[in-house]
Amino acid sequence: MKIKVIVHEAEEGGYWAEVPAIKGCATQGETFEELLNNLYEAIEGCLAVDVETPKDTATARTIEIAI
């Protein structure tokens, strides 16, 4: 899986990044290498958040897929 990330240079030095495809997923780092390491952790953490499972109805059902 590939995810697009927007990397910004912070005014006070270092970098910060946001992941537009995952609402609220952002991180920062003093160096670009630190930012990359933090991005992997941030994305993993954002994707691991438990979300309440919607209830099945007569016209909708819940399925799981692997990506």
R_g of the chain computed on alpha carbons: 16
Question: DSSP letter at 14?
Answer: S
pLDDT tens-digit readout, 5-32: 999 999 999 999 999 999 999 999 999 9
Query: What range does the domain containing 33 cover?
Result: 6-47
Q: Is residue 67 part of a domain?
A: no
Query: Is this structure's pTM higher than 0.85?
Result: no
**44 pLDDT more than 70:** yes
Q: Is residue 12 part of a domain?
A: yes
The phi, psi pair for 22, rounded to 5°, reads: -125, 105
Q: Is residue 36 part of a domain?
A: yes
Tally helices (H) and strands (E) across the chain. Answer: 1, 3
In the chain, how many domains are there? 1
pLDDT band at 61 (very low <50, low <70, confident <90, very high): low
Q: What integer best gives the mean pLDDT of the chain?
A: 86
